[in-house]
Structure 1
Amino acid sequence: MLKAPFIAARLALASLAILVAGCSGMPAPRASGVERLYILNCGEGEAGDVSRWSPGVNVGQPMPFVDNCYLIKHAQGWMLWDTGVSDAIAALPDGLAPADPKAVHWRRPKTLAGQLAQLGVQPADIRYVAVSHAHPDHIGNVELFPQTMLLVQKAEYDWPGANNAPRFKPEHPVTTVEGDKDVFGDGSVTIIATPGHTPGHQSLLVKLPKTGALVLSGDAIHFKSNWDYRRVPSINVDKDKTLASMQRIADLLAQQHAQLWINHDQAQRDTLKMAPAYYE
């Protein structure tokens, strides 16, 4: 006759075998988490009159501008936030002069394609391209990624361009967003609706394991003094929504203990590590 401890051991082993067999056909759990973030140089230039972005302040004064893109390596794939001014500008000896002398004269010291190649990343490797908004200094290279899913607010996607032309190629794969979106489903990368600069402007909350939380402003804020004094550029489509979006970002920074990275602010950009260095 078998003793009770022996029977219990046999039953435990049988149960384990059944569990293993049952799990063998189950899909593996989805990987989660941001692994690193690169800052890419997506343009440098000079505004002819900075008061275009700060009405009544520093009228007639020029100001340097930078244009950042951000490459995010997530366990589920690569994501690119904004694409900067067109890589074609790199071939122009004096850059691209604006029609409005108050606007930014852009230059492209490094191409986006070249910086990705330096990191060993091909355009086809990018799972998502998300853009803060549809101005040319943010969507200039969207078509370097013709098969990559584009993430953009529906209000921005539907916003007509010059002569009512679409701002994006209709054949480009797109997911139109209405409000916030948890991109990878794990809370590590979240699109935040921040309208005002344009109808469907959006910012990005990124949670890095070592650096902590970051809010990538897009053009919800153009430079630090505008943020400090809540100044709204005259070119924005809606002043009240811009101010509400600034407040939303302020609340988010407090809730998440996050840093604010302002896209066009050269003084801040010059304190940060650029690719091929990265943040974890």
Structure 2
Amino acid sequence: MNRAIGLAAVLGLAAIGLAEPANAGVEKLYILNCGEGPAGDISRWSPGVNEGKSMDFVDNCYLIKHSQGWFLWDTGIPDAVADMPNGLTPADPKAVTWHRPKKLAAQLEQLGVKPSDIKAMAISHTHPDHIGNVEMFPNTMLYVQKAEYEWPGANNAPRFKPEHPVTKLEGDRDVFGDGSLVILATPGHTPGHQSLLVKLPKTGGVILSGDAVHFKSNWENRGVPANNVSKEQTLASMQKIADRLTQDKAMLWINHDKAQRDSLKMSPESYE
């Protein structure tokens, strides 16, 4: 009887070993070019500072290979902008004139990834430079904060197609349940803004800022854009990110910061 129990235990452990891949968790992270262009006056993101100063912005998307499937963070400026010779000109001259040097679809294709291969996706928030290609993935589960999903759009229009599969979050979420990909609720820029903690096996921890902060000096000085929905929430979210950077020994990758982006490896190169 004891031998039978022991054999069963060994077989059970073997089954568990087969069920869990040796490289469980995040395997690779690719930084995709999802837009770039000049901002007319960056003081709109740092009131009282940088008056009249222009700066080049970038717009990143991130494709993450997890042992349980592909995950996409943000979708950038619409791919259609790549066909506009003068880019997407804003109504406000202080804002960013966006260009799309590379289409998202082409960058995925270069990696051998089809839109239907994306198992799950999330957007940091619903401003146009982050949701431009959401419907390239009509059947992919979308993770978004409930507060963001229900935030009325222009003329009270919904921010997503009602038929798009969605998981509405109310706070942080460990996407795959292993701690390697954690959505962090960081409201303030918008009602349901969120950031993403990625734990890479070789690179270590990285927090993808979304628009919790727009460029390095704003992070260092805790600058809050004038158009954010809540200054108090923004500052609290910055502190939450700072605490997680310490706790997880992570780096902060600031989405729109061109100087930082230019120091990083872009797809088809990757981080492991």
User: Which TM-score band (shorter chain)?
Assistant: over 0.9
In the alignment, what sits opposite 1:233? 225
2:19 to 1, 6, 29: 29
Q: How does 1:35-74 map to 2 (within 5 A)?
A: 35-74=27-66
- Larger mean Cα displacement after TM superposition, 228-237 or 14-23: 14-23
Q: How does 1:92-131 map to 2 (within 5 A)?
A: 92-131=84-123
- Structure 1: runs of 5 or more not aligned: 1-9
In the alignment, what sits opposite 2:259? 267
- 1:255 lines up with 2:253 in the alignment: no
- Larger mean Cα displacement after TM superposition, 26-35 or 251-260: 26-35
1:159 to 151, 156, 161: 151
Task: Tell me the alpha carbon deviations over residues 92-146 of structure 1, each in whole angstroms, 9 at most, x when there is no partner.
Answer: 0111100111111000000000000000000000011100000000000000000
State the alpha-carbon separation in 2 of the partners of residues 205 and 224 from structure 1.
18
In the alignment, what sits opposite 1:206? 198
Task: Tell me the alpha carbon deviations over residues 33-72 of structure 1, each in whole angstroms, 9 at most, x when there is no partner.
Answer: 1001000000011111111101111111211000000000
1:133 to 112, 121, 125: 125
AA at the equivalent of 1:79: F
Task: Tell me the alpha carbon deviations over residues 194-228 of structure 1, each in whole angstroms, 9 at most, x when there is no partner.
Answer: 00000000000000000000010000000000001
Task: Tell me the alpha carbon deviations over residues 119-177 of structure 1, each in whole angstroms, 9 at most, x when there is no partner.
Answer: 00000000111000000000000000000000000000000110000111111000001
Structure number with bigger Rg: 1
SS in 2 for 1:240: helix
Aligned length: 270
Structure 1 runs of 4+ aligned residues shifted over 2 Å read: 14-32
State the alpha-carbon separation in 2 of the partners of residues 157 and 139 from structure 1.
12
SS in 1 for 2:98: strand
- Judged with a 3 Å threshold, the aligned counterparts in structure 2 of structure 1 residues 11 and 166 are, in CA distance, closer, same or farther, namely closer
Q: CA deviation at 1:25?
A: 8.8
Q: CA deviation at 1:275?
A: 0.3
State the alpha-carbon separation in 1 of the partners of residues 135 and 20 from structure 2.
29
2:216 to 214, 221, 224: 224
- 1:244 lines up with 2:236 in the alignment: yes
State the alpha-carbon separation in 1 of the partners of residues 130 and 12 from structure 2.
49
In the alignment, what sits opposite 1:75? 67
Task: Tell me the alpha carbon deviations over residues 10-47 of structure 1, each in whole angstroms, 9 at most, x when there is no partner.
Answer: 963x4455557778998963543100100000001111
Task: Tell me the alpha carbon deviations over residues 67-92 of structure 1, each in whole angstroms, 9 at most, x when there is no partner.
Answer: 00000000000000000000000010
- Judged with a 3 Å threshold, the aligned counterparts in structure 2 of structure 1 residues 133 and 24 are, in CA distance, closer, same or farther, namely same
AA at the equivalent of 2:89: A
Percent same amino acid at aligned positions?
Answer: 70
State the alpha-carbon separation in 2 of the partners of residues 228 and 24 from structure 1.
50
State the alpha-carbon separation in 2 of the partners of residues 69 and 25 from structure 1.
37
SS in 1 for 2:97: strand
